[in-house]
Structure 1
Amino acid sequence: MPEGDSVYQLSKRLQFMAGREVTHTSLRVPRFATVDFTGLACDKVWPYGKHLFMQFGPEILHTHLKMEGTWSMHRAGARWRKPGHTARVVLRLADAKGDIELVGHELGLVDVFPAREYSARMGYLGPDMLAEDFDHDEVVRRITSQPDMEIGRALLDQKNAAGIGNEYRAEIGFLAGTHPARLVREVDVDKHVRLARRLMWANKDSPVRVTTGVKRAGETSYVFGRNNKPCRRCTALITKGFLGGSGDLERVIWWCPDCQPPGPSWRGE
Structure 2
Amino acid sequence: MPEGDSVLQLSQKLKFMEQQVVAACSIRVPRFATVNVQGWRCTRVWPYGKHLFMSFAHPEHAPLVLHTHLKMDGRWGIYRAGQRWRQPAHTARVVLRLGEVEVVGHRLGMVEVFPQREYAQRISHLGPDILDPQWQHNGLREEAIARIEAQPQRAIGVALLDQGNVAGIGNEYRAETCFIAGVHPGRAVAETNVPAIVDIARRLMWANRNAPVRVSTGVRRAGETTYVFGRENARCRRCGTPIAKASLGEDYERIIWWCPQCQPA
TM interval, shorter chain, is over 0.9
Q: What residue number does 1:54 align with?
A: 54
Q: What residue number does 2:205 align with?
A: 200
CA distance in 2, matches of 1:100, 1:34: 22
Deviation of the 1:245 alpha carbon: 1.3
TM-score normalised by L of structure 1: 0.94
Q: What residue number does 1:9 align with?
A: 9
Q: What residue number does 1:131 align with?
A: 132
Contact residue 73 and residue 102 of structure 1 kept, 8 A: yes
- Write the letter of the residue equivalent to 1:257: P
% identical equivalent positions? 62
Q: What residue number does 2:254 align with?
A: 251
Question: 1:86-125 maps to which residues of 2 (within 5 A)?
Answer: 86-94=91-99, 99-125=100-126
Q: What residue number does 1:260 align with?
A: 263
Deviation of the 1:250 alpha carbon: 3.5
Q: What residue number does 1:40 align with?
A: 40
CA distance in 2, matches of 1:83, 1:227: 34
Deviation of the 1:124 alpha carbon: 1.4
Supply the RMSD in Å over aligned alpha carbons.
0.8
TM-score normalised by L of structure 2: 0.95
Q: What residue number does 1:267 align with?
A: none
Question: 1:60-75 maps to which residues of 2 (within 5 A)?
Answer: 60-75=65-80
Deviation of the 1:48 alpha carbon: 0.3
Q: SS where residue 23 of structure 2 aligns?
A: strand
Question: 1:23-38 maps to which residues of 2 (within 5 A)?
Answer: 23-38=23-38
Q: SS where residue 251 of structure 1 aligns?
A: strand
Contact residue 244 and residue 250 of structure 1 kept, 8 A: no
Gaps of 5+ in 2: 58-62
Deviation of the 1:15 alpha carbon: 0.6
CA distance in 2, matches of 1:244, 1:53: 32
Q: What residue number does 1:220 align with?
A: 225
Count matched residues. 256
Deviation of the 1:80 alpha carbon: 0.6
Q: SS where residue 22 of structure 1 aligns?
A: coil
1:185 aligns with 2:190: yes
CA distance in 1, matches of 2:231, 2:243: 6
1:154 aligns with 2:155: no
CA distance in 2, matches of 1:216, 1:87: 34
Contact residue 70 and residue 104 of structure 1 kept, 8 A: yes
CA distance in 2, matches of 1:124, 1:14: 25
Give CA deviations for 1:215-244 in whole Å, capped at 9, x if unaligned: 000000000000010000000000000011
